Structure 1
Amino acid sequence: MFVGSLLAALAHNPAASAEDGPASGDYIWNEMQAEKLQALRAKGDALRGEISFEVCQGCHRTGALGRPDGSYPRLAGQHDTVLIKQMTDVRAGRRHNPRMLPFADKHVIGPQDIADIATFLKALPVPANNGRGPGTDLEQGRKLYEKDCAVCHGDRGEGDGNKFYPRVSGQHFKYLLREMIDIRDGVRLNANPKMMRVVKPYGERDMAAVADYMSRFPLP
């Protein structure tokens, strides 16, 4: 009952077409386009990033801690490379996020600003008070995570910045669940095809179990 109602609450109908993403024949995951390369090569400044991030706090909250209801992710402590990838993907239309786009538009911030914000966010502390699931199926979540997810996201959800794999430890349960659903269903246009194949056979119970397990990783 919990999982079914939660999945219904998280469902949405984005305007972007999944045919523009992994389903299209010419899709290249994490394609190194000009703006992304510029931001990755720039030397980020945390102080400038803190100033630039002030406008983002309205949604992502003070300390970049997001919201436990999953509407906005935690960004604190995330790999700078992952943050740069996601911000540039939103700007390029490869990740559909109409609420964020006006604040991250190319007329508002540039590649250097993106690098600054990512540097600031990466250094932020991550308190252990993130939103978690019901805790009723953690053993199933552990088995699936160790079998399918740890190879990329790490044994403790630490991710891999060099490979653009996000840190999932400390992230909100409902956000993790929503993104997994969107990736499985082909809704998230910048999804890694490798992960799409992994989660494609997952049912509702599997999705919730893995997301709940990930949300409980101890923080470094």
Structure 2
Amino acid sequence: MPHFVCRFLLPAVFFTSLCAWADPSAVYATCAACHGEKGQGNTQMQGPVLAGLSADYLTRQLLHFQNGSRGQHADDVQGQQMAAMAKSLLPQDSDIQALAAYIEKMPVPNERRLLPGDLKTGNAYYQNNCGACHGGQGQGNPALKAPRLAAQDMDYLRRQFMHFKQGLRGNADADKAGRQMAMMAKVLPDDKIEDVLAFISSL
């Protein structure tokens, strides 16, 4: 999210969180600026797709942004902005689970942006390195705390994968799943990342 948008939104966000929290749809109206009215994401604002993610995963990530487990690294500009939004939008007594449950019900977007790459190689590396947690079709697995990857914005996936690989994300003690993902990210060869992303984009 551009900095000028943050400066404009944050004061309004705090007011919204106090006055409209009883209605998760009213709170989400602020989220829609970056994540789309139906959680479909917004590539221009670098906001990932939220539709299709489980309420448990959404709740966990919002709490991580709030408590400093995510979005604190100096090189994670988008993460820092989201952490500020999470803290302003959701006071400590907020029902974060209600907002997450509201988002979980949004339909998964149908639009796909296929990436170039070797799908056969991408499929092989995906199934060997990612499929056990994220599902063979990228559907996610709440029991393993693994989010859905299919239908996600590929630029966002690439950025987060590199954040895990480079140590910008997944270092906090409270983020066990993040630490596991950081470890797995380091296993995938750099020259196979685009092939894996190409395969995910085809799901």
Aligned to 1:49: 24
Compared with structure 1, are the counterparts of its residues 139 and 82 closer, same or farther at alpha carbon in structure 2 (3 Å cutoff)? same
Aligned to 2:96: 114
Find 1:203's aligned residue among 167, 183, 189. Answer: 189
Aligned to 1:172: 153
Aligned to 2:59: 84
The residue type equivalent to 2:31 in the other structure is C
Tell me if structure 1 keeps the 8 A contact 2:129–2:188: no
Aligned to 2:111: 129
Aligned to 2:83: 101
Please give the root-mean-square deviation of Cα atoms over the aligned residues, in Å: 2.2
Compared with structure 1, are the counterparts of its residues 49 and 206 closer, same or farther at alpha carbon in structure 2 (3 Å cutoff)? same
Aligned to 1:64: 39
Give the drift of 1:71. Answer: 1.7
Give the drift of 1:51. Answer: 1.7
Tell me if structure 1 keeps the 8 A contact 2:90–2:96: no
1:31-60 superposed Cα distances (whole Å, 9 cap, x missing partner): xxxxxxxxxxxxxxxx93222111111111
Equivalent residues in 2 for 1:139-178 (5 A)?
A: 139-178=120-159
Larger % of helix: which? 2
Distance 1:68 1:55 in 2: 17
Distance 1:68 1:185 in 2: 23
Tell me if structure 2 keeps the 8 A contact 1:70–1:173: no
**Secondary structure of residue in 1 paired with 2:162:** helix
Distance 1:187 1:60 in 2: 22
Compared with structure 1, are the counterparts of its residues 87 and 146 closer, same or farther at alpha carbon in structure 2 (3 Å cutoff)? same
TM-score (normalizing by structure 1): 0.70
Give the drift of 1:64. Answer: 1.1
Q: Which residues of structure 1 form unaligned runs of 5+? A: 1-46
Distance 1:107 1:202 in 2: 36
Structure of higher RCO (CA pairs closer than 8 Å, 6+ residues apart)? 1
Distance 1:139 1:206 in 2: 11
Tell me if structure 2 keeps the 8 A contact 1:158–1:168: yes
Distance 1:88 1:142 in 2: 33
- After TM superposition, which residue ranges in structure 1, 4 or more long, deviate above 6 angstroms? none
Tell me if structure 1 keeps the 8 A contact 2:54–2:104: yes
Q: Which residues of structure 2 form unaligned runs of 5+? A: 1-21, 72-78
Percent identical: 26
TM-score (normalizing by structure 2): 0.75
